[in-house]
Structure 1
Amino acid sequence: MSNRFWMIVVGLLACVQGRAQHWLGVSSSNYAGTNALFLNPAHAADSRHKLYINLVGNDIFLANNYIRWVAPYSIFGIMTNTVPKKYRSERGAIVWKEEYYQERLNGERKHMHAGGDLRGPSLLYSFNNNRFAIGLTSRGRYAMSLTDVTEETARVIRFGTDNKDLQSKDFRNQQAQLNTNGFLEMGMTLGAVVADYDEHFLKVGATVKRLVGVYNVHADLRNTDHRIVVESLNREREFIVVQNLDATYGYTTGAAFDNIGLSPKFLFGKASAGGSWGADLGVVYEYRPEFNEYTRKVPKRGKEPDPNKNKYKFRVSAAITDIGRLNYKNLNYTREIDVQKVRDEFSYSEFNMANTTPLAVAAVNRSLSINPDDAPRAFKVGLPLAANVSFDYHHSGPWYVNAIWVQGLRGKNYMNIRPQSVLAVTPRYETRWLEVSAPVSLYDNYRAVAVGLAARVGPLMIGTDHFTGIFGIGKPQGADLYFGLYAPIFHRKPKEAIRCWFPPYEKLLKRKR
């Protein structure tokens, strides 16, 4: 049987974990615009832009503590179609072998993370002499989590039921937790300068977010015993005998995803599978010992701070992001079931053609003799609540160093979208039209080390927080890539004072005198 068969049986484990990525290479920049608001909404005020328009941006992320990538070519080679000819078939297709993955077998629980963040049209506008700002943002976020997986179950998910090393063995007290979410987010950010005492500068910000849930699959497999058995009449087919099954699984129906729209009823009403409100809160302090050097002359008003220049020697930022929950409460689209069985069987014939999520769900329900439509049930999913603290040091000229700590605040409840805690240091070269940075981070909840590289050139930014994963250096256990396209409009220079103008007859009188 295929990997999909067992992934379905153990609770619709059709996905691996995901999370929202931090864009470490660009989010701390003074030219990050709306991208900085997702880390701290206080960055809206005193922006280097009069108007910042984000056109599109996206990132993808993958990390795990079970499988290493040991292929002779890199993920970058796959993405750019530059894999050498010797690793291709006669038809030019890239050869994909099982030995390109290396297991880490140490008896510990396994987890995998994969997901992304599609950043849509957004804008940030500064007004009232750059002391106030308003931001409007849109995102599509897909966050998935497969955690607390016993090693034996992880191997079955990896190899499928047709692996002979896993057949005819009793697997006891198996566990796994899955939570997969896709949701839309629309935010409004307000930022303001609340204190400006020459050397000391303070600003605050808040974001209110409308959340619209469009997709969810979750499962909690608890202390389950099973055995993979080969059919006696056909050795190419297997089935699973579950001797003890204790689980909860739920999902949104296919119609919830198919009915995605941009109507007010869908975004703010009851037409979606779920919806709620969320918030981000932030504060930023800047120490400006040489504030007098960053002023400009303004006709009739004398001098004022130059909005086009960074003025701090160091900057300290703190924020709490993703406060709130997704409420999947539209019973037309939500289903959740508790299952407790002493014995059950899952056959090859039932799952052989289950190659889509709706078919997989139907196969599970038939195998368990369950009709979820009889008693629809709502459920809630916690947003990836996190706290972050950042310290940005201006060394000299265009050179900066940033340190950031992001700590997830959600517990171990599998129904929450678990944020990924990270600690990173990022040196960067920053100018108005060009920026290069190289973050070094402890990611995956401080379990692994990664080196990244990012660049901003004109209206384009591109980067990775996991350079070695993208280019296959060493034996990476993750990869990450993000990009953005934007339109920056900077603050204008003050107009010069209007010179005195004399009508022609006054000029003539002057000459006669």
Structure 2
Amino acid sequence: MKWTHLCFAFFSLPYREGIAQMSTGSIKEGVMEVGVWQFNNFAGIQGGYLNPASLSDSRIGWQVQFGSLYTQGGITNVDNPNSHVLFSGTSLKLNKHLWSPTYTDVRGPGFMLQLPNRHAFSISTRYRAASYQTKILFGNSTTNVNRGWTTEAFNEIGLSYALPIWVHKKHHFKAGVTYKFIGGVYYEDLVSQGVLGASRFEGTLLNTSTKFNKPFEWNHLFPSKNNGGAFDVGIIYDFVPDFEQYLHPMDGKTRIDVTKNKYLVRIGLSMLDYGSFAYKGVERREGVFVNQSVPAAFGKTNLPNDLRFLLTEHSPQSQPDITRSLATIFVINADVRLGKKGWYVNTLINSAKWNNKGFYSPKPYTPFSVAALTPRFEKRGAEFSMPLSYWRQTKQWAVGMQVKFGGLFFGTESLNSLFGGSKSPAPTVYAGFSIQGWARAIKGSDRAGIFDENDAYANALGSQNLIKNGI
């Protein structure tokens, strides 16, 4: 496959800061930042998740995304291992802590196609799941089990379309929109207030869930039910000072070369996740336990799972649907080409605004607010970049790195986390897998792919026809 690239995607994001503190009498909730790996100037389907307008006038002619995995880590001794958050049962020891995924973002499969006149279409799929410990009610004694855990998972199928909307010499505008059909896959809120002693548990358990005690299944990655929807919309402005060199008269028409990265400055604005969906089939289970016998290993490896098991014999009560209003994310992204040697610099600012319509609390999936500056070098399909980011909720700084060879890319947002420190997010890693083909050069009726005397003749005929018709 000529001009075809391969890339594999595995993402691991920084853990949430501000997780529930185990000091006596305190109640604090976790804060989760997600999506920060898009510091870099991704194109194609991955770029469409950040701004759907980026699909238009792309050097990518077609793309098949087989799948990507993106995870965020947390400290395992206070987090909730749940199979719906993929790989949450695994851990990594670093800087005297064990880290385990508390957020999963699976993207793909998907397909993108560049259409005539620089229009583009894509279809994408996505699965998001998050969990965290929501409460610490009393103390940090190992005998006290006064905690709450919340997990949610939802999937989507997105249809995107992008096109140029206005071109005048150096100034090029394009727009894009994505509509996402969203299905609520899984929701659970587990609350415990009690005491765990020598093979005994005494206290109260409350569970509100859609699939009680049911593990993750791989078909959950793909939408099967539509419980709502959301929009992504975006606009991109390209400043192209040397636009004349990308114009090609062909068959009496002036066409724009789609095989080149033309802009000197690119500015993008986008609004993401404007919409809502519902978790259906909600049930509630409650149990009061007095001197309940439990195994000696109870709570040693997965306390929430063991507590949940105590409720299996309790009858459920049907509950109303839970409406999930997504946070609307606003993004401004600028990319500047520095000279003609392949150097770029990218800036990105995100801000999330909650839509409080409908009842839904708590919310494990809480979008990020971040500012980033990313210098980047590109040459012959290879790329190296180092994002410098500031996490606004947690007031943390991170220095990352990305390496790309063709379509194979990998990197991290937080090299400095390897050395610890309170101002560093947790370690991260990402990579990607898709196949793609570059857009083809413009060809006239002679199929030469270049502007020659045949095209000049056709162009002259076109001009004569315009004059003949009084135009």
Provide TM-score, normalisation by structure 2.
0.72
Q: Please show how residues 153-172 of structure 1 align to structure 2 within 5 Å.
A: 156=140, 161=142
Q: Using the alignment, how far apart are the partners of 2:414 and 2:159 within structure 1?
A: 31
Partner of residue 118, structure 1: 106
User: Deviation per CA, 1:377-436, whole angstroms, max 9, x where unpaired?
Assistant: 421223242111112222222111111111111279643432111111111112451111
1:383 aligns with 2:326: yes
Q: Using the alignment, how far apart are the partners of 1:260 and 1:484 within structure 2?
A: 19
1:319 aligns with 2:260: no
Say which of 428, 431, 437 aligns to 1:480: 428
User: Deviation per CA, 1:247-286, whole angstroms, max 9, x where unpaired?
Assistant: 975222247656764899x7136xxxxx321221111112
1:100 aligns with 2:81: no
Determine if contact 2:74/2:101 at 8 Å carries over to the other structure.
yes
Partner of residue 138, structure 1: 125
Partner letter of residue 271 of structure 2? I
Q: Using the alignment, how far apart are the partners of 2:177 and 2:278 within structure 1?
A: 22
Tell which structure's C-alpha radius of gyration is larger.
Answer: 1
Partner of residue 354, structure 2: 410
Partner of residue 36, structure 2: 22
Which protein is richer in helix relative to its size?
1
1:457 aligns with 2:405: yes
Determine if contact 1:18/1:116 at 8 Å carries over to the other structure.
no
Say which of 179, 183, 202 aligns to 1:212: 183
1:194 aligns with 2:165: yes
User: Deviation per CA, 1:129-154, whole angstroms, max 9, x where unpaired?
Assistant: 31x1101111222223445x56x75x
Q: Using the alignment, how far apart are the partners of 2:361 and 2:427 within structure 1?
A: 24
Determine if contact 1:25/1:453 at 8 Å carries over to the other structure.
no
Q: Which moved more, 1:195-204 or 1:474-483?
A: 474-483
Q: Please show how residues 48-59 of structure 1 align to structure 2 within 5 Å.
A: 48-59=59-70
Determine if contact 2:284/2:317 at 8 Å carries over to the other structure.
no
Determine if contact 1:59/1:480 at 8 Å carries over to the other structure.
no
Q: Using the alignment, how far apart are the partners of 1:377 and 1:338 within structure 2?
A: 16
Partner of residue 442, structure 1: 390
Determine if contact 1:317/1:391 at 8 Å carries over to the other structure.
yes
Structure 2 runs not aligned, ≥5 long: 1-19, 22-26, 79-89, 454-471
RMSD value over aligned CA atoms? 4.2
CA change 1:146–1:402 in 2 (3 A) is: farther
Partner letter of residue 205 of structure 1? G
CA change 1:379–1:423 in 2 (3 A) is: same
Q: Please show how residues 483-502 of structure 1 align to structure 2 within 5 Å.
A: 483-495=431-443, 497=446
Q: Per-residue deviation at 1:20?
A: 3.5
Q: Using the alignment, how far apart are the partners of 1:468 and 1:122 within structure 2?
A: 33
1:250 aligns with 2:208: yes
Partner of residue 183, structure 1: 154
Q: Using the alignment, how far apart are the partners of 2:291 and 2:386 within structure 1?
A: 49
Q: Per-residue deviation at 1:359?
A: 5.0
Partner letter of residue 403 of structure 1? T
Q: Per-residue deviation at 1:360?
A: 3.0
Q: Using the alignment, how far apart are the partners of 1:62 and 1:472 within structure 2?
A: 17
Q: Report the 3-state secondary structure (helix = DSSP H, G, I; strand = E; otherwise coil) of the residue aligned with 1:123.
A: strand
CA change 1:217–1:305 in 2 (3 A) is: same
Say which of 268, 271, 274 aligns to 2:225: 268
Q: Using the alignment, how far apart are the partners of 1:498 and 1:433 within structure 2?
A: 26
1:309 aligns with 2:252: no
CA change 1:477–1:290 in 2 (3 A) is: closer
Partner letter of residue 430 of structure 1? E
Partner of residue 396, structure 1: 339
Partner letter of residue 46 of structure 2? N
Determine if contact 1:350/1:363 at 8 Å carries over to the other structure.
no
Q: Per-residue deviation at 1:100?
A: 1.9
CA change 1:438–1:477 in 2 (3 A) is: closer
Q: Using the alignment, how far apart are the partners of 2:102 and 2:245 within structure 1?
A: 46
Structure 1 runs not aligned, ≥5 long: 1-5, 8-12, 68-78, 82-93, 103-111, 270-274, 501-513
Provide TM-score, normalisation by structure 1.
0.67
CA change 1:192–1:208 in 2 (3 A) is: same
Q: Report the 3-state secondary structure (helix = DSSP H, G, I; strand = E; otherwise coil) of the residue aligned with 1:35.
A: helix
Q: Using the alignment, how far apart are the partners of 1:44 and 1:325 within structure 2?
A: 25
Say which of 71, 88, 110 aligns to 1:60: 71
Partner letter of residue 434 of structure 2? Y
Determine if contact 2:414/2:425 at 8 Å carries over to the other structure.
no
Partner letter of residue 400 of structure 1? Y
Partner letter of residue 381 of structure 1? R
Q: Using the alignment, how far apart are the partners of 1:456 and 1:18 within structure 2?
A: 28
Q: Per-residue deviation at 1:364?
A: 5.2
